[in-house]
Structure 1
Amino acid sequence: MKVAVFSCKPYDKRTLTSAALNTPLALHFFESRLSLETVSLVKNFDAVSCFVNDDINAEVIHLLKEQGVKCIALRCAGFNNVDLEAAKLHEIKVFHVPDYSPTSVAEHAVALIMSLNRKTHRAYHRVKEGNFALEGLLGFNLQGKVVGCIGTGRIGAAFCRIMKGFGCEVLCYDLYPAPELVDLGCKYLSLDELYQRSDIISLHCPLTTSTHHLIDEKSLKKMKSGVMIINTSRGALVNAQAAIDALYSQKIGYLGLDVYEQENAIFFEDMSSHIIQDSVFQLMLTFPNVVVTGHQGYFTDEALNHIAETTIANLTLQTSVESHSRQLA
């Protein structure tokens, strides 16, 4: 099976190549993202492997089918960038990596909380400049604070366990409550109750039509003044302009983002020599109580290796199914 691997960075190439040893897969790596502009690259390939910011819409899927592609292997848990109905219509199988390392993302969410609270990002630069003054670096104890977790799948559950370890009161919202979290002492409430009571709110839910702009002007009005918002899930869960307005009014006291609604134009690339053509994002970076990282929550050795192993296993499974089908024909 010939596989076109899109959005491929050096670390992806290393882990995927290692995982594909002794398999019937021939991997070809492309740094560019899969989109209408690059779909012509898949000619003579049997499958494609894609990441979070590849645009796999209905038109792209139609062209993949025309080129003979039978399988899309995502190297991520989310699949909101894939038109699943179009894939089903064209009989193209879609695989994802549902569990690559829940703790890696959960721990990064906690790292954002700690950085914002204790202002380590600002303290680091002060000390480098010989400034050891503490004024402006005041934080608060996490113990006893009320933490709201929206979405308690594998990542959200890992986050809840960590915050319970800090001595926080953990409130949860999910359509499917996790009994093990209830046993741990977490409380499931309505979304409105969670908004009203939480000092910190962390998002760990998928992006769907119902969760798009979950954090917006309307929901922010229900929250405490000075609330901390953390998003390590999908950028479009947070309305960026509404967040900026809430930063100005001090409704949001702290904002930690590892994802951004328009990140596909900038994230995973070195933009240090470019002018970023996004005034909303540029404005957000000027706030001293905002920390943004470039979608690195998943970026650990354990997660990368598991993503590679699962992706290769998915592709190998597809190969064996096709081989068996040919034998039966």
Structure 2
Amino acid sequence: MEILAFGVQADERPLIEAAFAGHHDVHCVDVFLSEDTVPIAAGYEIVSTSVNADLGAKVLRRLAAGGTRLVAQRSTGFNNIDLDVAHELGLTVARVSSYSPYSVAEFAWTLAMAVNRRIVRAAGRTRDFDFRLDGLMGRDLRGRTAGVLGTGKIGEAFTRIAHGFGMNLLGWDVTENPACAALGMRYVGKDQLLAESDLVTLHVPLLPATHHLIGAAELASMKDDAILVNTSRGGLIDTDALVGELRRGRFTGVGLDVYEAEAGLFFLDKSLDVVEDDTLARLVTFPHVLVTSHQAYYTHEAVSQIIDATVRNVADHLAGRRGENTLVPGAPPPAPN
């Protein structure tokens, strides 16, 4: 079976090829699936996509018309997929339901510590042999309050690290996590969490109900010297409202690994282009804001687990099984001749 994998990073390629070796032929391309690139998939029964792929109605219809029967997305989130249209077309859609939560939790802490201790500014200065400390003062986190929005596996991993720092713990979720409660976390309403937390971190999926979970009112309710971190999905934060608060001099630091309009930007080299996104251009000018390119998941362990799950998803499809990662079961594959 030939498989086409879209949006494959250079570090991923040998891992993907090794995982499928001896079972299927996999053709890896670094372009992302979109209306412009979907013709490449013609003739491939199985297509694997990355997190920023366009899997809206038009692309799905083109995939189905070209013979694709399985879309195997190499991510947990699936807000980019029109599942209703996939069901209508009889396409099978699978995702990766989980991978190393430590990859994202540890990176969230990396962002938090970097903006708190002004690491990027300090590193830039020392490269110019400027060793002054002016403007580099951070804060101890011990005894301060960490607010965790979303206490699933990643939120729990973040909470364990916060507990190690000696922080007070507030949580918000539809279901309380006993492991977090055992660490001393108090579950409170979102408004209380935002008002009382010195560090706010987001670990919830992007759904219609969570779009702009942190909007203008929520940002206004946070402490002026709070730290805000988002390693989940960009659409959880109203970025225009965030820029407005930053222009007013609020927040000690903001660490963003995701951005709500990142498709077409993140994972690509735009260094020689004129970036027309005024909001992002303004965001990266603030000295206490750190934006990274959706790399929180990008550890050897996590990527290997994502690829292994994708291999299982392909095997389930070919065997006519509905696995734990199946979002849309689709029509069974044709019987071999």
**TM-score normalised per structure 1:** 0.95
Whether 2:175 is the aligned partner of 1:176: answer: yes
User: What is the match of residue 324 of structure 2?
Assistant: none
94 and 324 in structure 1: CA distance in 2 versus 1, 3 angstrom threshold = closer
Q: What is the CA–CA distance in structure 1 between the aligned matches of 2:188 and 2:255, rounded to whole Å? A: 23
Aligned residues: 327
User: What is the match of residue 157 of structure 1?
Assistant: 156
Q: What is the CA–CA distance in structure 2 between the aligned matches of 1:294 and 1:46, rounded to whole Å? A: 31
Q: What is the CA–CA distance in structure 2 between the aligned matches of 1:100 and 1:17, rounded to whole Å? A: 19
Deviation at 1:77, TM superposition (A): 0.7
Q: What is the CA–CA distance in structure 1 between the aligned matches of 2:65 and 2:129, rounded to whole Å? A: 62
Q: Deviations over 1:156-196 (max 9, x none)?
A: 11111111111111111111111111112111111111111
User: What is the match of residue 311 of structure 1?
Assistant: 310
- Partner SS state of residue 252, structure 1: coil
Q: Which amino acid aligns with 2:21?
A: L
Any runs of at least 4 consecutive aligned residues in structure 1 with deviations exceeding 2 A, and if so which?
Answer: 250-253, 320-327
User: What is the match of residue 72 of structure 1?
Assistant: 71
The runs of 5 or more residues in structure 1 that have no matched partner are: none
Deviation at 1:277, TM superposition (A): 1.7
Contact 1:61 1:87 in 2 (8 A): yes
User: What is the match of residue 215 of structure 1?
Assistant: 214
User: What is the match of residue 37 of structure 2?
Assistant: 38
User: What is the match of residue 106 of structure 2?
Assistant: 107
Q: What is the CA–CA distance in structure 1 between the aligned matches of 2:135 and 2:163, rounded to whole Å? A: 28
User: What is the match of residue 234 of structure 1?
Assistant: 233
Q: Deviations over 1:50-96 (max 9, x none)?
A: 01110000121122222221111111110000011111222211111
Instruction: Select the residue among 306, 322, 326 that pairs with 2:335.
Output: 326
**TM-score normalised per structure 2:** 0.93
Contact 1:119 1:139 in 2 (8 A): yes
Select between 234-243 and 317-326 the one with higher mean Cα deviation: 317-326
Matches within 5 A, 1:132-143: 132-143=131-142
What RMSD in Å do the two structures reach over aligned CA positions?
Answer: 1.7
Q: Which amino acid aligns with 2:6?
A: F
Matches within 5 A, 1:289-304: 289-304=288-303
Q: What is the CA–CA distance in structure 2 between the aligned matches of 1:88 and 1:298, rounded to whole Å? A: 29
Contact 2:46 2:69 in 1 (8 A): yes
Q: What is the CA–CA distance in structure 2 between the aligned matches of 1:312 and 1:14, rounded to whole Å? A: 14
- Partner SS state of residue 252, structure 2: strand
Taking every aligned residue pair, what percent have the same amino acid on both sides?
37
Matches within 5 A, 1:45-56: 45-56=44-55
Q: What is the CA–CA distance in structure 2 between the aligned matches of 1:60 and 1:167, rounded to whole Å? A: 49
- Partner SS state of residue 89, structure 1: helix
36 and 223 in structure 1: CA distance in 2 versus 1, 3 angstrom threshold = same
Q: What is the CA–CA distance in structure 2 between the aligned matches of 1:252 and 1:215, rounded to whole Å? A: 14
Contact 2:220 2:245 in 1 (8 A): no
Q: What is the CA–CA distance in structure 2 between the aligned matches of 1:91 and 1:324, rounded to whole Å? A: 10
More helix by share: 1
Contact 2:317 2:333 in 1 (8 A): no
Q: Deviations over 1:82-128 (max 9, x none)?
A: 01111122221111112121100100000001101111111111111
Deviation at 1:253, TM superposition (A): 2.8
Q: Which amino acid aligns with 1:326?
A: A
The runs of 5 or more residues in structure 2 that have no matched partner are: 322-331
Q: Which amino acid aligns with 2:184?
A: G
User: What is the match of residue 279 of structure 1?
Assistant: 278
Q: Which amino acid aligns with 1:17?
A: E
Q: What is the CA–CA distance in structure 1 between the aligned matches of 2:179 and 2:104, rounded to whole Å? A: 20
Q: What is the CA–CA distance in structure 1 between the aligned matches of 2:153 and 2:61, rounded to whole Å? A: 33
Deviation at 1:135, TM superposition (A): 1.5
User: What is the match of residue 252 of structure 1?
Assistant: 251
Q: Which amino acid aligns with 1:20?
A: F
Q: Which has the higher contact order (CA 8 A, sep 6+)?
A: 2
User: What is the match of residue 267 of structure 2?
Assistant: 268
Matches within 5 A, 1:91-106: 91-106=90-105
Q: What is the CA–CA distance in structure 2 between the aligned matches of 1:295 and 1:202, rounded to whole Å? A: 15
Q: Which amino acid aligns with 1:181?
A: C
User: What is the match of residue 86 of structure 2?
Assistant: 87
- Partner SS state of residue 335, structure 2: helix
Select between 77-86 and 30-39 the one with higher mean Cα deviation: 30-39
